[in-house]
Amino acid sequence: MSARRVVSLVPSITEALAASRPESLVGATDWCTHPADLDVTRVRGTKNPHLDTIRSLRPDVVVANKEENRELDVRRLRDSGVTVWVSQIETVPEAFAAYDELYDDVLHWPRPPWLHEARRLWSGDLPPVRARVAVPIWRDPWMVVGARTFTGDLLRRAGFDNVYADAAGRYPRTEVADIDAAGADVILLPDEP
């Protein structure tokens, strides 16, 4: 049966679901800012979702991600009878596999045309390196994109060399002076958080 009521706790997946079947998306986090006109019940953040609000929406499925969301929240939702699908995505190919599973096996929705086009655009040979980059993602403490991350894989597929790709950990802590001294040609800043 096709999912008719979906709550998303993953901003990037929220955007995909809203582009595919907006009438089925009934809840999302405060961090789910795309599309800009998304009009659904807000369930707080990715790390502190309001579980009672989620339950009250009577979702057919809650979409979560191993990195974005806490295992405790997933377990509490499941223990109360809510179906939760959890993705784990560290590379672009893993993202495509996760979307295939989500649309085919979880939501039972047809795969959207944009998914085929994205796969075509992002699955070819790696381009030559255009620039070395650093990507700070948090401050207090300062953290940057490191190894084994979707962002790191996406950067490489876009022709960028992450100066922190060999650092210990997925999101190493650092200092502003160290970011400046890491040898990046460009500092890329995400639009959130």
| 116-143 per-position pLDDT tens digit | 999 999 998 999 999 999 999 998 899 9
Over residues 38-46, the mean pLDDT reads: 97
pLDDT of residue 46 exceeding 90 = yes
Over residues 149-175, the mean pLDDT reads: 95
pLDDT of residue 193 exceeding 60 = no
Question: What is the per-residue pLDDT for 95?
Answer: 96
Q: What is the β-pairing status of strands 173-174 and 142-144?
A: antiparallel
Over residues 50-59, the mean pLDDT reads: 98
Q: In this prediction, what percent of the chain has a pLDDT beyond 70?
A: 99
Q: What is the pLDDT of residues 73-110, one digit of tens each?
A: 999 999 999 999 999 999 999 999 999 999 999 999 99
- Whether the Cβ atoms of residue 133 and residue 187 lie closer than 8 Å to each other: yes
Q: Which long-range contacts (C-beta less than 8 Å, at least 24 apart) are formed by 114-118?
A: 114/19
Question: What is the per-residue pLDDT for 31?
Answer: 93
Question: What is the per-residue pLDDT for 74?
Answer: 98
152 vs 188: CA distance, rounded Å: 12
Average pLDDT, rounded, for the chain? 95
pLDDT of residue 180 exceeding 80 = yes
159 vs 107: CA distance, rounded Å: 34
Over residues 14-29, the mean pLDDT reads: 97
The answer to whether domain 6-120 and domain 131-187 are alike in fold is yes
Question: What is the per-residue pLDDT for 72?
Answer: 98
Question: What is the per-residue pLDDT for 192?
Answer: 63
131-187 has which CATH code?
A: 3.40.50.1980
Question: What is the per-residue pLDDT for 48?
Answer: 97
Over residues 30-55, the mean pLDDT reads: 96
For the chain, state the CA radius of gyration: 18
Going by pLDDT thresholds of 50, 70 and 90, the confidence category of residue 191 is confident
Full strand arrangement of the beta sheet holding 186-187: 160-162, 131-134, 186-187
Q: Where are the domains of the chain?
A: 6-120, 131-187
44 vs 101: CA distance, rounded Å: 26
99 vs 106: CA distance, rounded Å: 10
6-120 has which CATH code?
A: 3.40.50.1980
Over residues 43-64, the mean pLDDT reads: 98
